Amino acid sequence: MGSIVLFGPPGAGKGTQAQRITEHTSLPQVSTGDMLRAAVKAGTAIGLEAKSYMDRGALVPDDVILGLIEERIAENDAKNGVMFDGFPRTIPQAEALSELTEITHVLAIDVPDERIVERICGRLTCGTCGTVYHDVFNPVPGDGCECGQYVEKRRADDTEATVLTRLGAYHEQTSPLASWYEERGLFHRVDGDRAIDDITTDLLYVLQ
Ligand code: AP5
């Protein structure tokens, strides 16, 4: 099997669905957003460079992202393919990726802009295992995260002002990738304005 791309605007549910789909495909989730946040937390040179872009909701330069990806997909667990979450986000990133691994499916989660702010501003992430929750739409279970170690965490870039900048970057720089992948016969669109379980069912159906 090759690799899969989960595509969609900020807050579409890419991370939520990636965590579910990896259980069925055994492809590891590779999230450039998570990798960048880890680099920021560790205070590496890449983290320091990326932080200024992330804090204002702008895309991090392609060369930084591609360096991270090349290193990640050289790891042993990626040899049968991976599930990309939040990558590629520009046409140069997609072109470079096509030289590194075979993409078999691009799964686009469609969500209207008016839903995005409420989704992102209500997001909670488990500080231990990374499971994503939502204040209203996907609450943390009464006895905490299923990993047993739930620590509530809100992302630094999950503010209304930053979300609007991230949406702008999506429409200007990332959405042109839809037709780029459509031309290559790889693009599958799923309605993401529904219950989380229904979206998972549709995504798994496409992968079958
Ligand atoms: P990144 O971390 O990738 O953020 P993003 O693309 O903005 O996406 P999110 O993680 O915010 O949303 P998601 O689609 O994963 O939704 P989630 O499942 O969490 O990137 C952050 C930054 O890093 C970027 O701004 C950029 O600076 C940089 N960056 C990263 N990759 C880059 C790249 N390739 N190139 C350049 N720069 C890059 O769900 C959101 C919320 O909604 C959750 O609370 C969830 O519980 C809830 N939810 C999910 N599904 C549903 C549903 N069906 N109904 C109701 N609620 C739902």
Domains of the chain (ranges; CATH) run 3-111+168-207 (3.40.50.300)
Contact predicate 22/94, CB 8 Å: no
Q: Is 153 a catalytic residue?
A: no
Its pTM stands at: 0.95
Is there a cis peptide before residue 10, judged by omega within 30 degrees of 0?
Answer: no
What residue owns the CA closest to ligand 1's atom 43?
123
- pLDDT tens for 74-86 read 999 999 999 999 9
Token pair of 172, please?
Answer: 């200007």
Average pLDDT of span 142-147: 86
Residue-level pLDDT at 1: 64
Choose which residue among 131, 137, 154, 162 to substitute to test ligand 1 binding: the one with the highest number of ligand atoms within 8 A of its C-beta. Answer: 137
Mean pLDDT of the chain: 95
Dihedral, CA of residue 93, residue 59, residue 168 and residue 19, to nearest 10 = 70
How many Å lie between the centroid of ligand 1 and the Cα of residue 100?
24
Average pLDDT of span 153-167: 92
- pLDDT tens for 33-63 read 999 999 999 999 999 999 999 999 999 999 9
